């Protein structure tokens, strides 16, 4: 384990090219720590637990730190109890009783970059050094000088000697762009922003570092002119951070003081919730005792201060093995390769599948069955495969190939010229496409059929109850009750939902048909422009091109869809089943009663849902906006209307209730003769 850990550490710190995710390293490290705790006689001086890992690379000059760069104890418990355990330890070591007041801390994000020490003499940046092994780091001044956020000269009045400690990092967006550029140029890509940042900082040629978008956050001090020699007398860590800020160093805005374990827990949760929205990676938070007097009292344990701790979040990247690559068929026939993974806990959930998007993505990443890969899952984002862990394959593994025939219906699989995706040509003949088409048809923003979810659709299609969309409205109670786990009551609910869905609107119906390229907005534009379904079905490509926001690709897709007899047949049968909507005259926008008017909805209306009211207003030609301005013509306000109503009153915009809105919609159009 010592050898393995040392080898991993070398890849990570010296080569900037780790072969395992951090969490894997951490786990092995902790296991070794536990073994050594049980068997102290086995501890050797070269054990990675006995020193802070790191080495000085050939070519970069070694720098002895005036004040060692410490490491920090990590709470392995990612739950709230991590903060509680730290607070309890601090209180115990300070000899505090339960009746004593809470300890004040400073809570900070734990930036996932690399530690840096910046030495200023008489306000001038003279040296920048990496942490190295904590005692001796590397001189990277030439590269650090290229980071615009790092001041080269400090304002007058700073202590003559000042070492600022902080983290150099690369924002995630810049990291993605860098990798994209590297890929385009056939260069080396990086596994994560931290390694990209580390790679840039340790370049021998500062021209390369200058092209990498690096940034810096300050979080502490190294050496500083002593109080006796006229240096500053800070009482707290927070005060010290404010001073750094005033000297023009970037300090993260989330940094705050926190009273006792309760506020530490709150901070951990609050920062955790916003983690994915941050432009840079963090892997946890850091808590520090605020009073410098108390910090001195607590002191150190070997290389770690007793007054600070790192409290982690669940890892967002983990390594696992690809067990198989399957393909899935989507609603439009798109064939998506999916990696089946050995189950792995990442980003707070167990992941067993990850999309590989398309064949080109597989080739680009070079993944094959059996490979160790790094899986990333951040927030609610679907898990993705970041890359393959370099290493030999056990033997020959064939490259993945797209099936020639659809695995579900056997129809031919094709890829259109210029497209990245392969598609099944089976259309609605393909059960997989049929299922997806049904789910889309039933979706809330489409026909809004409550209770028709994927489990039910799977059964309905697999058991042959439903082959086409109209079959939905033809199935009876008996067919439904015959399904697994379907009681009579739920079956009746499904039928009631189907019945209710029959009264719909033309835009919803158009969207529900699942015509390629036709989303909600296009469906609305089509309905508004043509007024009736027949007019749309019979429109030529040229006529379709007249519609707002419809270009050649969309026009062609709509025309092709309605040119297919079986699609027209589906529409006719749905109508025959009782699906209805109100049609209007072919309308030029200008002729609609609310053409050119902007309306804002706010609060809860007594009978209409927000979506229904929006649909009605848009059908009348109005634009429904999200905020009130001088250009707003009407505000429709319901119960619990808040700031938008106040704004309308302030600007003198007419305010209507639901009844007022319906009256407005019922008013004759401006061009019709008045009675």
How many residues form the binding site for ligand IVH (CB under 6 A)? Answer: 13
Rounded to whole angstroms, the Cα distance separating 109 from 282 reads: 7
What are the Cα distances from residue 99, in Å, to 86, 88, 103?
18, 13, 12
What's the min distance (Å) between Cβ of 25 and ligand IVH?
14
From 106-114, 261-269, 383-391, 492-500, give the range in contact with ligand IVH by CB under 6 A: 106-114
Using CB under 6 A as the binding rule, whether residue 190 contacts ligand IVH is answered as no
Using CB under 6 A as the binding rule, whether residue 108 contacts ligand IVH is answered as yes
DSSP string, 177-217: HHHHHHHHTT----SSHHHHHHHHHT-SSHHHHHHS--EEE
- Rounded to the nearest 10°, the torsion over CA 106, 243, 219, 280 is 100
Segment holding 492, helix H or strand E:
helix 488-501
What are the Cα distances from residue 514, in Å, to 72, 247, 435, 523, 549?
55, 59, 12, 10, 18
- Determine which residue in the list 21, 137, 220, 333 makes contact with ligand IVH, applying CB under 6 A: 220
What's the min distance (Å) between Cβ of 111 and ligand IVH?
4
Q: Which is nearer to ligand IVH, 169 or 190 (CB)?
A: 169
Check: CB of residue 430 under 8 Å from CB of residue 439.
no
Q: Which is nearer to ligand IVH, 56 or 402 (CB)?
A: 56
- Determine which residue in the list 12, 105, 111, 581 makes contact with ligand IVH, applying CB under 6 A: 111
Residues 72-101 as x/- pattern, contact with ligand IVH by CB under 6 A: x-----------------------------
- Determine which residue in the list 8, 13, 219, 238 makes contact with ligand IVH, applying CB under 6 A: 219
What's the min distance (Å) between Cβ of 430 and ligand IVH?
51
- Determine which residue in the list 136, 308, 375, 432 makes contact with ligand IVH, applying CB under 6 A: 308
- Determine which residue in the list 20, 23, 63, 70 makes contact with ligand IVH, applying CB under 6 A: 70
Q: Which is nearer to ligand IVH, 71 or 604 (CB)?
A: 71
What are the Cα distances from residue 546, in Å, to 542, 554, 570, 572?
7, 12, 26, 26
What's the min distance (Å) between Cβ of 81 and ligand IVH?
21
Proportion of the chain in helix, strand, coil states, percent, rounded to 5: 40, 20, 40
- Determine which residue in the list 23, 103, 107, 115 makes contact with ligand IVH, applying CB under 6 A: 115
From 103-111, 394-402, 472-480, 496-504, give the range in contact with ligand IVH by CB under 6 A: 103-111
Check: CB of residue 406 under 8 Å from CB of residue 434.
no
DSSP string, 123-179: TEEEEEEE-TTSSEEEB-HHHHTT-TTS-SBPPTTS-SEEEEEEEEE--HHHHHHHH
What's the min distance (Å) between Cβ of 308 and ligand IVH?
5
**What would the two tokens of residue 269 be?**
């949760």
Question: Residues near 151 by Cβ (< 8 Å), separated by ≥ 6?
Answer: 125, 247, 248, 249
What's the min distance (Å) between Cβ of 311 and ligand IVH?
11
Check: CB of residue 240 under 8 Å from CB of residue 257.
no
**What would the two tokens of residue 16 be?**
């900037």
CB atoms within 10 A of CB 344: 21
Using CB positions, name the residue nearest to ligand IVH.
115
Q: Which is nearer to ligand IVH, 166 or 431 (CB)?
A: 166
What's the min distance (Å) between Cβ of 17 and ligand IVH?
18
Contacting ligand IVH within 160-189 (CB under 6 A):
167
Q: Which is nearer to ligand IVH, 118 or 308 (CB)?
A: 308
Q: Which is nearer to ligand IVH, 111 or 175 (CB)?
A: 111
Using CB under 6 A as the binding rule, whether residue 22 contacts ligand IVH is answered as no
Using CB under 6 A as the binding rule, whether residue 292 contacts ligand IVH is answered as no
What's the min distance (Å) between Cβ of 73 and ligand IVH?
8
In the chain, the N- to C-terminal Cα span, in Å, equals 92
Give the largest CA-CA distance in the chain: 103
What's the min distance (Å) between Cβ of 471 and ligand IVH?
59
Burial of 537 (0-12, 13-18, 19+ CB in 10 A): middle
Using CB under 6 A as the binding rule, whether residue 286 contacts ligand IVH is answered as yes
Residues 556-585 as x/- pattern, contact with ligand IVH by CB under 6 A: ------------------------------
Q: Which is nearer to ligand IVH, 280 or 511 (CB)?
A: 280
Active site residue 188: no
Q: Which is nearer to ligand IVH, 74 or 598 (CB)?
A: 74
Residues binding ligand IVH (CB under 6 A): 70-72, 108, 110-111, 115, 167, 219-220, 286, 305, 308
Catalytic residues: 110
């Amino acid at each position: 384990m010592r050898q393995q850990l040392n080898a991993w550490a070398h890849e990570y710190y010296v080569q900037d090219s780790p072969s395992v995710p951090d969490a894997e390293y951490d786990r092995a490290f902790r296991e070794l720590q536990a073994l050594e705790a049980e068997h102290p006689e086995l501890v050797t001086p070269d054990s990675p637990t006995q020193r802070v890992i790191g080495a000085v690379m050939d070519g970069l000059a070694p720098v002895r730190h005036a004040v060692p760069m410490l490491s920090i104890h990590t709470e392995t418990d990612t739950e709230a109890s991590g903060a509680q355990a730290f607070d309890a330890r601090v209180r115990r070591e300070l000899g505090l009783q339960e009746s004593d007041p809470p300890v004040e801390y400073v809570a900070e994000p734990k930036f996932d970059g690399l530690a840096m020490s910046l030495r200023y003499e008489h306000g001038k940046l003279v040296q920048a050094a990496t942490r190295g092994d904590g005692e001796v780091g590397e001189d990277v001044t030439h590269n650090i000088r290229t980071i615009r956020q790092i001041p080269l000269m400090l304002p007058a009045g700073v202590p003559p000697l000042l070492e600022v400690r902080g983290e150099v990092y690369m924002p995630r967006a810049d990291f993605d762009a860098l990798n994209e550029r590297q890929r385009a140029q056939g260069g080396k890509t990086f596994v994560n922003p931290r390694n990209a940042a580390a790679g840039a900082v340790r370049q021998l040629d500062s021209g390369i570092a200058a092209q990498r978008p690096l940034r810096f956050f300050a979080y502490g001090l190294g050496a500083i002119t002593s109080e006796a020699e006229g240096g500053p007398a800070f009482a707290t860590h927070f005060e010290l951070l404010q001073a750094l800020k005033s000297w023009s160093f970037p300090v993260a805005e989330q940094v705050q003081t926190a009273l006792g374990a309760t506020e530490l827990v709150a901070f951990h949760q609050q920062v955790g919730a916003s983690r994915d929205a941050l432009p840079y990676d963090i892997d946890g938070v850091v808590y520090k005792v605020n009073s410098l007097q108390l910090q001195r009292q607590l002191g150190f344990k070997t290389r770690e201060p007793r007054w600070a701790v790192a409290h982690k979040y669940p890892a967002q990247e983990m390594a696992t093995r690809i067990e198989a690559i399957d393909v899935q068929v989507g609603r439009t026939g798109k064939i998506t390769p999916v990696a089946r993974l050995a189950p792995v806990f990442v980003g707070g959930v167990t992941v067993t599948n990850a999309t590989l998007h398309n064949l080109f993505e597989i080739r680009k990443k070079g993944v094959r069955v059996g490979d160790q890969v790094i899986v990333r899952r951040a927030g609610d984002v679907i898990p993705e495969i970041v890359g393959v862990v370099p290493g030999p394959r056990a033997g020959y593994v064939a490259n993945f190939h797209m099936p020639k025939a659809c695995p579900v219906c056997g129809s031919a699989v094709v890829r259109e010229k210029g497209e990245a995706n392969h598609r099944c040509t089976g259309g609605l003949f393909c059960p997989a496409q049929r299922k997806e088409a049904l789910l889309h048809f039933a979706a809330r923003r489409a026909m809004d059929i409550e209770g028709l979810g994927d489990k039910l659709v799977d059964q309905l299609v697999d058991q042959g109850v439903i082959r086409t969309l109209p079959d939905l409205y033809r199935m009876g109670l008996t067919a439904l009750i015959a399904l697994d786990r379907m009681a009579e009551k739920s079956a009746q609910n499904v039928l009631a939902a189907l019945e209710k869905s029959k009264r719909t609107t033309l835009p919803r119906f158009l969207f529900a048909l699942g015509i390629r390229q036709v989303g909600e907005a296009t469906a609305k534009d089509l309905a508004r422009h043509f007024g009736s379904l027949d007019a749309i079905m019979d429109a030529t490509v040229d006529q379709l091109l007249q519609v707002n926001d419809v270009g050649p690709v969309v026009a062609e897709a709509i025309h092709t869809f309605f040119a297919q007899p079986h699609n027209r047949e589906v529409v006719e049968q749905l109508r025959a089943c009782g699906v209805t909507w109100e049609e209007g005259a072919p309308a030029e926008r200008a002729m609609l009663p609310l053409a050119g008017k902007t309306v804002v909805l706010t609060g809860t209306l007594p009978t209409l849902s927000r979506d229904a009211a929006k649909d009605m207003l848009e059908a009348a030609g109005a634009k429904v906006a999200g905020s009130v301005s001088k250009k707003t013509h009407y505000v429709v306000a319901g119960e619990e209307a808040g700031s938008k109503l106040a704004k309308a009153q302030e600007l003198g915009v007419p305010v209507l209730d639901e009844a007022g809105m319906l009256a407005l919609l019922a008013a004759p159009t401006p061009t019709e003769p008045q009675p």
